[in-house]
Amino acid sequence: MALYVYAVTKSSHPLGVDELEGVGGDGTPVRAVRGDGLCAVVSEAPAEITMTRPDLEAHHAVQERLWNDGPTLPLSFGFVAEDEDAVRAVLDAEAEQFAERLDELADRVEFNVKGVQEEEAILRRILADSEPVRQLNEATRDGGGTYDQRLELGRLLNDEVLARQTALAESVLAALRPHAHAERLGEPSQQYFLSASFLVDRQGVEEFTRAAEEASGELPEGVEVRVRGPLPPYSFT
């Protein structure tokens, strides 16, 4: 029987997931497959796994219940094993590595941090600060100017935006790093100038959130830091 796997934890974990319903609904029970010192929390896998809201909520509900009671290694949505033997084989083969990672994550949580900037706000600041950009913008307004001028304006704007977003990201990271045990950085995008996950000691949660609020308050108009957490350490397993 195929099994949907939510997380790996130590056999001493209290679990406490008996009343939860697994992915796929229909009253699917959540249970443990035990190895030597470790266990995997599973439920019977549905015939088809779809990324629907109810299934995502069921997945995260199990993981968050587990994490509230002790360290776990949460798996990504949609992880399926062939049967109990396959699960035990992985638990046995990776027992030492899993145990070490669980010890590292004990009493730590994850925070996701996104840096968001309004496009119009940054363009206004660039126009106010950069004489070359301002001159080219005037020359090419309403479709005027040459092709080379429009090309140069695009290049200058892109370079300015990138430089400013990099500086903003570094300022936020500098404020948060002293309050985190580890970090994972994502690639910046058109939507986010900063996308990062931080591993934070539970006892340092208040300090981290306060540092994030202070860093956000010091940013220019139209720029904000969005923080989500504390969460199970998805990015650090």
Q: What is the pLDDT of residues 135-162, one digit of tens each?
A: 777 777 777 777 787 787 778 777 877 8
Report d(CA 66, CA 219) in Å as an integer. Answer: 37
Q: Across residues 100-111, what is the average pLDDT?
A: 92
Residue 153 is part of which domain span?
Answer: 109-236
Q: Clarify whether residues 119 and 227 are in a common domain.
A: yes
71 and 137 together in one domain: no
Whether residue 194 is found in the same domain as residue 96: no
Please give the pLDDT value at position 49.
Answer: 86
Largest CA distance in the chain: 74
119 shares its domain with 101: no
- Among residues 83, 106, 129, the one where a domain terminates is 106
Same domain, 118 and 221: yes
In this structure, the answer to whether residues 130 and 210 fall within a common structural domain is: yes
Mean pLDDT (the chain, rounded): 88
pTM: predicted TM-score of the whole model, two decimal places: 0.76
**Cα 39 to chain center, whole Å?**
25
Residue 9 binned pLDDT confidence (cut-offs 50, 70, 90): very high
Residues 123 and 212 in one domain: yes
Do both 80 and 135 map to the same domain? Answer: no
Same domain flag for 148 and 68: no
Number of Cβ within 10 Å of residue 108's Cβ equals 21
The three-state secondary structure class of 227 is strand
Residues 114 and 228 in one domain: yes
- Per the structure, the count of domains in the chain is 2
Q: Which of 106, 132, 154 lies at the terminal end of a domain, its last residue?
A: 106
pLDDT at 28: 87
Percent of the chain with pLDDT over 70: 98
pLDDT digits (tens, 9 = 90+) for 62-89: 999 998 889 999 998 999 999 999 999 9
Last residue of a domain, one of 44, 77, 106: 106
Q: Does 87 share its domain with 125?
A: no
Residues shown for the chain: 237
